[in-house]
């Protein structure tokens, strides 16, 4: 009985478990306990790791990698907007939403990988600064939550069956959430630059 429920609702139970884990982390002040210990790692990233040394020494290399980071974010944002605005029935109405969802996903995956790799380099160059920024940590939290939401929740749901068989309000909620996630990642990324 329990085994059948666990296998039948594995994804939903995983969401519940992650939510409860996050609540526990906050209630038990685990975040506050971990945070001070990370400062030495961020200082090492900035001053001793080879990416930190290259980032802080060669401005042209840093600028080039940052340009690649922004371009990958632009591609990522483009795939998200194309898919989610189609799911909301605003653009590309003549293209089946299933086609866009499957067609843009590979591009989204590569853009996300590129954004993360170039983002690590950019963060290493200013690691001793971003460690103290709340917006940096919020961006990281939303980036992780957003990536998991896209890869393990949104895409499996939207590729599981034709979209006419999914409740339209479920599709709308998923599309709006996805757009707000990537808006927050982009806005907080720019906020880091302004802080």
Partner 1 sequence: MNENGKIDDKTIAALSSAAIILGGLLYYWIGEGQSTVELLELAYGSFKFFNNPLVF
CB 124 within 8 A of CB 49: yes
Q: Is 102 in the site for partner 1 (CB under 8 A)?
A: no
How many residues in the shown chain lie near partner 1 by CB under 8 A?
30
Near partner 1 by CB under 8 A, which window of 41-49, 54-62, 103-111, 145-153? 145-153
Q: To the nearest whole angstrom, how small is the minimum distance from the Cβ of residue 21 to partner 1?
A: 12
Using alpha carbons, select from 70, 72, 95 the residue that is nearest to residue 83: 95
Q: Tell which one of 142, 143, 163, 189 touches partner 1 (CB under 8 A).
A: 142
* Alpha helices, H only, 9-154: 10-27, 30-34, 39-47, 50-57, 59-87, 97-125, 127-130, 134-148
> CB neighbours (10 Å) of residue 149?
17
Distance of CA 155 to the CA centre of its chain: 14
Instruction: Report the C-alpha gap between 191 and 193 in whole angstroms.
Output: 5
Does 147 participate in binding partner 1 (rule CB under 8 A)? Answer: no
Q: Does 8 bind partner 1 (CB under 8 A)?
A: yes
47 binds partner 1 (CB under 8 A): no
The first and second tokens of residue 6, run together, are 């666990």
* Distance separating alpha carbons of residues 157 and 101, to the nearest angstrom: 11
Tell me which residues in 155-184 interact with partner 1 (CB under 8 A): 156-157, 160, 165-167, 170, 173-174, 176-177, 180-181, 184
Residue 80 or 174: the one with the smaller Cβ distance to partner 1 is 174
Kindly state the smallest distance separating residue 54's Cβ from partner 1, in Å: 34
Q: Which is nearer to partner 1, 117 or 166 (CB)?
A: 166
Say whether 167 sits in a helix, a strand or coil. coil
Three-state DSSP state, 133: coil
For residue 192, state whether it binds partner 1 (rule: CB under 8 A): no
Residues in the site for partner 1, rule: CB under 8 A? 8-12, 14-16, 19, 138, 142, 145-146, 149, 153-154, 156-157, 160, 165-167, 170, 173-174, 176-177, 180-181, 184
């Amino acid at each position: 009985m329990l085994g059948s429920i666990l296998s039948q609702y594995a994804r939903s139970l995983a969401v519940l478990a992650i939510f409860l884990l996050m609540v526990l982390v906050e209630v038990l002040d685990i975040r506050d306990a971990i945070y001070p210990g990370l400062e030495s790692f961020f200082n090492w990233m900035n001053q001793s790791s080879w990416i930190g040394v290259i980032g802080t020494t060669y401005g042209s290399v840093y600028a080039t990698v940052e340009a690649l980071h922004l371009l990958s974010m632009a591609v990522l944002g483009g795939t998200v907007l194309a898919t989610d605005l189609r799911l909301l029935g605003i653009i590309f109405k003549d293209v089946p939403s299933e086609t866009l969802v499957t067609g843009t996903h590979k591009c989204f995956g590569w853009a996300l990988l590129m954004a993360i790799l170039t983002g690590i380099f950019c963060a290493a160059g200013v690691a001793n600064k971003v460690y103290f920024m709340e917006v940096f940590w919020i961006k990281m939290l939303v980036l992780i939550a957003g990536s998991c939401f896209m890869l393990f929740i949104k895409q499996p749901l939207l590729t599981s069956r034709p979209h006419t068989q999914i409740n339209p309000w479920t599709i709308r909620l998923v599309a709006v959430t996805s757009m707000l996630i990537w808006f927050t990642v982009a806005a907080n990324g720019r906020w880091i630059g302004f802080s």
